Structure 1
Amino acid sequence: MFSPETRLATGAGLLQGPVWFDSVDAVPFEPVFAESLHQHTVRLGPRPAGSGALIDVIESRGEGGRGGAWFPVAAKWRSMLAQPPGGVVVGNGAEGEPASAKDAAVLQSRPHLVLDGIEIAAEAVGATEMIIWLHEGDDRTELAVREALAQRQQNGPRGAIRVEVGPAGYLTGESSAVIRGLSGGPALPMFRHAPATVSGVGGRPTLLHNVETLARIALVARYGLVPDTRLLTITGDGGRTAIEIDPAATITDAVVAGGVEEKTLQAVLLGGYGGQWLPWSDAAGLPLSALGKSLGAGILIPLARNRCGLRLTAELDHYLAAASARQCGPCMFGLPALADLFRQVADGGGGRRHLRRVRELLDEVTGRGACHLPEAAVNITTTALACFAADVDSHVNRGRCLHG
């Protein structure tokens, strides 16, 4: 659906300098762009120790997790500190969302910043085990992390950080799926009664952070006040561009920084495959700071005027249905039915009868899944019907696409 080519645009803080990626699963390869431990230390100085005092700094900054949920980092740390020492810290670098590249960008270009962050967090909360969780097939990322770990071992004894690789999939990077996978079970979402900080990997207290969050912790520990930048992935037919940008910037600023011509656009999908469609006329001037959780893990998918938003949404609905963990009825039956019906609407078949049934299914699936997957399909489909209302009318009533 989208080219795997990724471009990393210039930015300050977490990302520095333009770096080009070829195919993310190409082998053999040489990650010559990864910052070495020596370069990292010259640029930022030695890693500071983690301490309880850092929690107050993080709380004062209002730092939220950058994996998509934006849960307060300080609240997680305080919950972890209330448990017996000897827990686990997990850095989640598994980007199940196919439209995202920001975590790979950080790990491949600035791996030591993430490794500093996981060590600082472990020291601050009294954890004794540290794990970086990656997806199978993320070979370039895995090699960058393993080489960085080897450099740190050569530099002297450090805390033991290990890499664990789980199956690639849309849901296998979800937090409870990561905990389940690291505990010896399938890497699938689970019904969890206790938070991970109380009972996580193997029943031990577990602090799980997205790798961007850990990288920011490493900067906050050094400087206290650091720019509150946003890492975004701008995804289109030409590939994915990971950028770092000021939150005061607009959506137009972001897509232009990602190499997209804004004059060619009709709409944008905020937040990736489970996000929401907005007409470009409504979205263009919105500042990133006003979007909150609607950006999810920081994904913008601009849609050109010559592309059909209904057909793209139908493709994404089918992807989400295929990604199901098949652990509950809405995923097993509701999502495939929704995807099939919406494809027929997008293809101009079935008339108003199919459109009516799509709306009924959206109501039936809403709020009923064991994980966020049904809600993802509901979000993207419901907002597509509103955003592309004229297209819906043309497809349903005239059997004709407005975009050829």
Structure 2
Amino acid sequence: MIPHRVPPVLRIGPARLTAGLDHCRRLDLPAHRTLHGTPAPRDLTNLIAQVDEVDLRGRGGAAFPFGRKLRAVSAGSRESVVLVNAAEGEPASCKDAMLLVRTPHLVLDGAVLAAESLHAREVVVAVAAGSVPLASVEAAVAERRAASVAGAAESHLPIRVVGLPERFITGEGGALVRGVNGLDASPPGRKRRAATAGVDGLPTLLSNAETFAQLAILAEHGVEGYASVGTSREPGTTLLTVGGTHVVEVPYGTPLAAVLELCSLEAGDGVLMGGYHGSWLPGSAVGPPSAVSEPPLPAPAVLSLVPAPVTGPFPAPVTGPFPAPVTGAFPAPVTDPFPAPVTGPFPALSQAPTDPFPALPQASPQAPPPPGVEISRLGLEAAGATLGAGIIVPLGSDTCPLGETTRVAAYLAAQSSGQCGPCRMGLPEVARALVALCEGHGSSDSVRRAVRAVERRGACFHPDGTARFVLSALDAFADDVAAHLESGTCGRPVRGVLPLPESSDEPSYRLDVDWTRCEGHGLCAHLLPEFVDLDEFGYPSFRTVPGWMAKEARRAVEMCPALALRLA
């Protein structure tokens, strides 16, 4: 399981989603109601009108208009379900975990508001099993239930929390619905719209945890207040996970450079936008920072599920008596008469006097630096990138860009459900082509051919997202690719800047070979190029296989023609 971290929370501009987090480790229900109030129920027509007016989009990656989802679910006459996607299986993202751990009632307010407007049967929150966010949401549901029993004006709508396996593809819409329905949390072979047939076959409003939190903020501030920050075309704020270590709330339109400066991070060779299904921007595209940031909100040293009380002792106030002010006659200020100015007429000069300090050559005015990329859908689209789920990872300058891309591509290949050809065979081939390119005996064309074989052919978006990630790396890191083709290396190590699941809690595996059986077919190296090397005679040597690659390692064992491999 990927350990959930609760990173420091920073902000640029006013705090909306992060309001109150500089005072409380976690906003329990009383603290949340004091800060945000209780949202008034809204009929569906009014809710859709507000959502459309601010063009509220999903924050899970696709930026789908939330109003269209509401209309699609309400079109049928059957009862419906609201499903909160809080699975967040991507290792580089932790913004949803932050919301669920520190301000869970904001997410639940938005989900309940949507559910009541749809007259839905229940709210379901899908989150990683055994995680801190799951425990926090369960505690929040219990707080609401207890408040309702005590007579508080809390909704009686059922809220169900479901734990799902923590995998990269679990957050895919179809996989999430299958998992909630008790099936394997993998994308279905045939795509079905959740708005038509989702949880228990009912029309389901499926959206990301932050999206529902944004809906609650819209209800709290109204259209005008919500749109008082951001841009005219993209109002409001958004949450970003930066470098896998910071969660930052920013208004749309904030320069990317200002975000990196706030987090004390440098773009270096490039910046990954949108996560592992996103794309790379070259470091030169970031531009100069030009936004004034608010002081960061301090992260709690220890995570607690209750607000931290303010305790004494406090210093006693300073009291009198105080010494009397000094009085008396003071001497008058001393003044000096100034000599009268010298007046003309002056004798004429036969020639102009020579200036002992000749004028310095004037520098020609320089054009201001070009504006950098801004945090907005339109700004990133113009730069050829996407915000996705708000993931930003600056690469820096001391790691190998191609090596970082290769290790993530191998991880993405291993994370597929293996249900379709592009995932089962195509993505491992992309990883192999990248390994060969890293070692200097492959080519960019080989990688592009492998990518073309998986694009627009998968049962879900996983192959297409991986393809975008890989192709953008070839373009953004062309100089690094050239160095690898020439020398087999760029001279920099692979430092693991791009976050992957930590293996400390996962088993590692070792491939062993029965040398009395091995005939040097080399198929194991073809199936596991990241962990198997062949000598000059075609016989293998092995590296330790991490737990997340165990499925591919077992496949290599099963497919060995000589039955010479085993996994220990």
Q: TM-score, with normalisation over the residues of structure 1?
A: 0.90
Give the match's secondary structure for 1:265. Answer: coil
Equivalent position to 2:32, from 19, 23, 40? 40
Select between 207-216 and 181-190 the one with higher mean Cα deviation.
181-190
8 Å Cα contact 2:269/2:477 also seen in 1: no
Alignment of 1:119-130 (within 5 A): 119-130=112-123
Find out whether 1:395 has 2:484 as its counterpart: yes
Q: Given residue 384 of structure 1, which amino acid in structure 2 is its aligned partner? A: A
**Alignment correspondent of 1:303:** 395
Equivalent position to 2:239, from 231, 239, 242? 231
Aligned mates of 2:487, 2:196 — CA distance in 1: 57
Please list the CA deviations of residues 40-91 of structure 1 after superposition, one character each: whole Å capped at 9, or x if unmatched: 1111122211321111110111111111111111111111111124211011
Give the match's secondary structure for 1:172. Answer: helix
**Alignment correspondent of 1:59:** 52
Find out whether 1:156 has 2:248 as its counterpart: no
8 Å Cα contact 1:85/1:126 also seen in 2: no
**Alignment correspondent of 1:23:** none
8 Å Cα contact 1:85/1:125 also seen in 2: no
Aligned mates of 1:215, 1:197 — CA distance in 2: 20
Aligned mates of 1:204, 1:252 — CA distance in 2: 44
Give the match's secondary structure for 1:155. Answer: helix
Find out whether 1:242 has 2:247 as its counterpart: yes
Give the match's secondary structure for 1:69. Answer: coil
Seen in structure 2, the aligned counterparts of structure 1 residues 193 and 365 have a Cα distance that, compared at 3 Å, is closer
Please list the CA deviations of residues 288-345 of structure 1 after superposition, one character each: whole Å capped at 9, or x if unmatched: 1212571110000101111111000001100100001101111111111110220221
Aligned mates of 2:462, 2:190 — CA distance in 1: 16
Aligned mates of 1:260, 1:328 — CA distance in 2: 42
Equivalent position to 2:94, from 98, 101, 112? 101
Q: TM-score, with normalisation over the residues of structure 2?
A: 0.65
Q: Given residue 217 of structure 2, which amino acid in structure 1 is its aligned partner? A: L
Q: Given residue 400 of structure 1, which amino acid in structure 2 is its aligned partner? A: T
8 Å Cα contact 2:4/2:132 also seen in 1: no
8 Å Cα contact 2:17/2:249 also seen in 1: yes
8 Å Cα contact 2:168/2:415 also seen in 1: yes
Give the match's secondary structure for 1:356. Answer: helix
What displacement does 1:36 show? Answer: 1.1
8 Å Cα contact 1:80/1:207 also seen in 2: yes
Aligned mates of 2:486, 2:402 — CA distance in 1: 15
Seen in structure 2, the aligned counterparts of structure 1 residues 18 and 42 have a Cα distance that, compared at 3 Å, is closer
Find out whether 1:365 has 2:357 as its counterpart: no
**Alignment correspondent of 2:353:** none
Seen in structure 2, the aligned counterparts of structure 1 residues 197 and 3 have a Cα distance that, compared at 3 Å, is closer
8 Å Cα contact 2:20/2:35 also seen in 1: no
Q: Given residue 300 of structure 1, which amino acid in structure 2 is its aligned partner? A: I
**Identity among equivalent pairs (%):** 37
**Alignment correspondent of 1:13:** 16
**Alignment correspondent of 1:260:** 264
Select between 150-159 and 70-79 the one with higher mean Cα deviation.
150-159
8 Å Cα contact 1:268/1:302 also seen in 2: yes
Give the match's secondary structure for 2:162. Answer: strand
What displacement does 1:17 show? Answer: 5.9
Aligned mates of 2:442, 2:69 — CA distance in 1: 50
Q: Given residue 42 of structure 2, which amino acid in structure 1 is its aligned partner? A: G
Aligned mates of 1:166, 1:9 — CA distance in 2: 26
Q: Given residue 65 of structure 2, which amino acid in structure 1 is its aligned partner? A: P
**Alignment correspondent of 2:194:** 196
8 Å Cα contact 1:90/1:131 also seen in 2: yes
Compute the RMSD of aligned alpha carbons. 2.0
**Alignment correspondent of 1:79:** 72
**Alignment correspondent of 2:374:** 287
Equivalent position to 2:441, from 350, 356, 362? 350
Find out whether 1:318 has 2:410 as its counterpart: yes
What displacement does 1:6 show? Answer: 4.4
Aligned mates of 2:445, 2:75 — CA distance in 1: 51
Structure 2 unaligned blocks of 5 or more: 150-155, 230-235, 288-371, 494-568
Aligned mates of 1:40, 1:5 — CA distance in 2: 22
The structure in which a higher percent of residues are helix is 1
**Alignment correspondent of 2:425:** 333
Q: Given residue 487 of structure 2, which amino acid in structure 1 is its aligned partner? A: R
Alignment of 1:376-395 (within 5 A): 376-395=465-484
Provide the aligned length of Structure 1 versus Structure 2. 383
Please list the CA deviations of residues 112-158 of structure 1 after superposition, one character each: whole Å capped at 9, or x if unmatched: 11111111010111101111000124x21111111111111111152
Q: Given residue 237 of structure 2, which amino acid in structure 1 is its aligned partner? A: T
Please list the CA deviations of residues 156-207 of structure 1 after superposition, one character each: whole Å capped at 9, or x if unmatched: 1521101001111000111111111122221111245542112111211111
Aligned mates of 1:88, 1:368 — CA distance in 2: 30
Aligned mates of 1:391, 1:256 — CA distance in 2: 25
CA radius of gyration, larger in: 2
**Alignment correspondent of 1:29:** none
Select between 82-91 and 203-212 the one with higher mean Cα deviation.
82-91
